[in-house]
Amino acid sequence: MGEELKQTPLFNYYKENNVKLMDFGGWALPIQFSSIIDEHQSVRTYAGLFDVSHMGEILVKGNDSEAFLNYLLTNDVSKMKNGQAQYNAIVNENGGTIDDLIIFKLDEKGYLVTPNASNSDRVFQWMEKHLTGDVVLENKSEEIGLLALQGPHAERILQKLANNDLSKIKPFHFVQHIELKNLSPVLISRTGYTGEDGFELYLEAGETEKLWHLLLEAGAEEGLQPCGLGARDTLRLEASLSLYGNELSDDISPLQGGIGFAVKTKKEADFIGKAALTAQLKSGVDKKIKGLKLVGKGIARHGYKVFAENGSEIGVVTSGTKSPTLGDSIALALLTTTGSDVGTNVKVEIRNKLVDAVIVQTPFYKRESKNKL
Amino acid sequence: MMTEDRLYSKDHEWILPLGENLVRIGITEYAVKQLGDVVYVEVPEVDAEVSAGGEIGTVESIKSASEIFSPVTGIIIAVNEELEDGPELVNASPFEEGWFAEIQLENPIELQGLLTEEQYKTYIAELAAEEEA
C-alpha cells in the first residue's frame, strides 16, 4: 500500500517508524499511533499533535479578492480584519454544500482559503470557473504542510518554540511569519477541530517533519502525543463539529448541516446560493443535524436509519461513535425537523434491531472556558 | 500468547477445546490489532443454534463494526457476560478474559478443518506480507 495514495510531507517519517497507514480519502495517513482512545484523552487532558497536511491551501490575491470571496462564500467576508480567520461554506446554486472551509485574511488584497483535502481540487475549479475582476488564484496545497497542536497544554508547548507572546493570538485569529527555532516562517492560527484550545501551523512542506519533531520534543513533559485521524474524528464528533461527507454534502445545505452560523443571507453582497438559502430560512429547513445519545446497546454508525417511536422513518445517522470522554454512544443524524425536539425518544436501526435513543442538545462535549472574556 | 492446544480459523477466531465436544471461542491478537480499541461487543444468546460460517456476534471498535463468525456448528451454552460492561477486555486479554462464547459441538469433525497454531502463524505472516506489498 502507499504507491497510489497521496503522501503528506511526513510520509517518510511514518514509513521509517512503522506507523500503520490507511487510505483516508485518497491520502496515506495514520488512523492511530497507539490507541484512538488514549490519543483522544491526551488531547482532552494534555495535548495532541496531528498531521493535517492533506488539507488544501488556496491563495486568493488581487484588488477584488474580498468581493470575489464574498460572492462565493456564505459568510460575510467584508466583516473580516487582517489577521482574522473565518469559518465559511461554499455552496452551489441550490444551496447544497460544496465544502466548508476556513479563510484567513492575510492583508487587504490577500486571503488563504483552506478547503478539505478531498474537496481541494473541486473548490479550486469552482473558484476558477467563477473568477471575476482582479483576482489571482494559486493552489499551494502541495507546497504547504499543516500540523495541528490541540489541547489545554497547546499554548504552553508552542510557547517554548516561539519568541512572541502566543497568548495574544485570540481564537479564530492568526499571525504570519512567526519564527520557530530555525524554521522558515510559520503561519500560526488559533483554530482547530477538536473542541479544545489549540493552534494550526502552516509552513513549507519540506520543513513539516522538523516542526513535528520540535513540537514532540517540546511537549514531552506536557504529555503531548502524536495523534491519528481516528482521534480527530472522535474529538470533533464530541464537539459536534460537522464533517464534510457526513453532516455536509452536495445534498445538505449549511443550514441543514449544522453550520447555519456561517450563513449570512443578510450580508450586503449577493452570493451564489443566496436565493436557495434565503428560501430555506424563510420556510424553515425540512431536515437538520441533531445529536443522538443511545439509550440501548450498540453504536450508531454513518448510514444507519433513524425511526420515530411510531415507526416512521425520520432520518439517517451521519456520524456515530462511542464517546471516549463521556462513555456514551453518541451520534449526529440528519432528521426531519418536525418531531425532532431535544428529549424526543427515537430508535436507531442497528443490524436489523431497533435500539432506543434520545435526541439531545449538542455539542455533546464543551470544554470549560479558561479564556477571560 | 498463542498456545498449541488451540485451533484457529481464517476469520481470526481461536477455538479452545474444553472437554467433550465443548469449545470456547474468542478472537486472536491479530484480529484485535486490526480492530483497534474495542468499544462494544454483541454476543449471541445462550441456547442459540449456530452453524459454521454463520454470524454469531459483532465486535465494534471506534472505527468499525466487525462480525464474528462461528467456526463450528452447535449450540451456544455460555457467553462472556463480562464483555457487556468491559468490551476493553478483548483488547487487554483476547486469549483469556476476552473470550466470546462456548459452543457445544454438533459436528466435532469440523475441528479437523481448522488451522493449527503453526498453520495460523504462517497464514497471518502471509497476510502481513500482502499488506506490505
| pLDDT 10s digits, B43-67 | 999 999 999 999 999 999 998 899 9
Res. A201: pLDDT tops 60:
yes
Partners of A351 on chain B (C-beta within 8 Å) are 42, 58, 65
Q: How many other C-beta atoms can be found within 10 angstroms of the C-beta atom of residue B47?
A: 8
Q: How far is A234 from chain B (nearest CA, A)?
A: 8
Chain A residue with minimum CA distance to B64? A301
Q: Is the pLDDT of residue A139 over 80?
A: yes
Chain A residues with beta carbon closer than 8 angstroms to that of B61: 36
Cβ contact (<8 Å) for A35 and B42?
Answer: no
**Three-state SS sequence of chain A:** CCCCCECCCCHHHHHHCCCCEEEECCEEEECCCCCHHHHHHHHHHCEEEEECCCCCCEEEECCCHHHHHHHHECCCHHHCCCCEEEEEEEECCCCCEEEEEEEEEEECCEEEEECCHHHHHHHHHHHHHCCCCCCEEEECCCCEEEEEEECCCHHHHHHCCECCCHHHCCCCEEEEEECECCCCCEEEECCCCCCCCEEEEEEEHHHHHHHHHHHHHHHCCCCEEEECHHHHHHHHHHCCCCCECCCEECCECCCCCCCHHHCCCCCCCCCCCHHHHHHHHHHCCCEEEEEEEECCCCCCCCCCEEEECCCCEEEEEEEEEECCCCCCEEEEEEEECCCCCCCCEEEEEECCEEEEEEEECCCCCCCCCCCCC
Q: What is the number of CB-based contacts under 8 A between chain A and chain B?
A: 41
- Grid coordinates given for A273: 446560493
In the three-class reduction of DSSP (H, G, I as helix; E, B as strand; rest coil), residue B118 is classed as: helix
Q: Which of B40, B84, B131 sits opposite A299 (nearest CB)?
A: B40
Model pLDDT, residue A372:
44
For residue B115, give the DSSP letter.
B
Give the integer Cα–Cα distance in Å for B88 and B41: 9
**B-chain residue closest to A40, CA distance:** B62
Q: Is A321 on the interface with B (CB under 8 A)?
A: yes
Topology, domain A56-139+253-284: Alpha-Beta Plaits (3.30.70)
pLDDT over 60 (residue A371)? no
Per-residue pLDDT of A264-294, as tens digits, reads 999 999 999 999 999 999 999 999 999 999 9
Domain ranges in chain A are 11-53+142-238, 56-139+253-284, 286-373
Percentage of chain B surpassing pLDDT 90?
86
pLDDT of residue A119: 95
pLDDT average, residue stretch B13-37: 94
**Separation of CA A161 from chain center:** 25
Distance from CA of B80 to the nearest CA of A (A): 16
Question: Which residue matches cell numbers 446554486?
Answer: A93
A230 interface with B at CB cutoff 8 Å: yes
pLDDT 10s digits, A170-190:
999 999 999 999 999 999 999
Say what the pTM is: 0.93
User: Residue B116 gets which letter from DSSP?
Assistant: P
What ipTM is given for this predicted complex? Answer: 0.83
Q: Please tell me the predicted confidence (pLDDT) of residue B1.
A: 54
If pLDDT is split at 50, 70 and 90, which confidence band does A4 have? confident
Q: What is the spatial distance between Cα A172 and Cα A166, in angstroms, rounded to a whole number?
A: 13
pLDDT at A2 over 60: no
From the candidates B37, B41, B61, which should be mutated to test the interface with A, based on the most A CB atoms within 10 A?
B37
Q: Considering the domain A11-53+142-238 in this protein, what is its CATH number?
A: 3.30.1360.120
Residue A155 cell numbers, joined: 499554548
Give mean pLDDT, residues A221-242. Answer: 97
Full domain range(s) for residue B127: 7-132
Please state the domain count of chain B. Answer: 1
Q: Inform me whether the pLDDT recorded for A368 exceeds 90.
A: no
- Sign for the CA dihedral angle at B50, B55, B61, B62 comes to negative
pLDDT greater than 70 at residue B3: no
Mean pLDDT, to the nearest integer, of A219-236? 97
| Contact (CB, 8 A) for A233 and A247 | no
Confidence band (pLDDT; 50, 70, 90) for B20? confident
Separation of alpha carbons A223 and A194, rounded Å:
17
Interval A293-316: pLDDT, tens: 999 999 999 999 999 999 999 999
What is the CATH code for A286-373? 2.40.30.110
Q: What is the pLDDT of residue B58?
A: 95
Q: Which residues of B touch A31 (CB under 8 A)?
A: 36, 63
Q: Is the pLDDT of residue A370 over 70?
A: no
Residue with cell 527555532: A181
pLDDT tens for residues A64-113?
A: 999 999 999 999 999 999 999 999 999 999 999 999 999 999 999 999 99
Which residues in chain B have Cβ-Cβ distances shorter than 8 Å to A1? Answer: 131-132
The pLDDT value given to residue B2? 58
d(CA A204, CA B7): 53
- Answer whether A42's CB lies under 8 Å from A151's CB: yes
Is residue A215 within 8 A of residue A146, CB to CB? The reply is: no
Q: Which residues, numbered 29 to 88 in chain B, qualify as contacts with chain A under a Cβ-Cβ cut-off of 8 Å?
A: 36-37, 39-40, 42, 58, 60-63, 65, 84
pLDDT of residue B29: 95
Grid coordinates belonging to A72: 462565493
Mean pLDDT of chain A: 96
Distance from CA of B105 to the nearest CA of A (A): 27
The three three-digit cell numbers of residue A162, written as one number: 516561539
pLDDT more than 70, % of chain B? 96
Four-point Cα dihedral A52, A55, A61, A64, nearest 10: -120
| B2, part of any domain | no
Task: List the end-to-end C-alpha distance of chain B, in Å, as a whole number.
Answer: 27
What is the per-residue pLDDT for A43? 98
Determine the distance in angstroms separating the CA of A94 from the nearest CA of chain B, rounded to an integer.
Answer: 33
Evaluate if residue B75 carries a pLDDT over 60: yes
- For residue range B82-119, what is the model confidence (pLDDT) as tens digits? 999 999 999 999 999 999 999 999 999 999 999 999 99
* CATH (domain of B102): 2.40.50.100
DSSP state of B5: T
Of A35, A37, A299, which has the smallest distance from its Cβ to B65's Cβ?
Answer: A299
- pLDDT at position B19 is 86
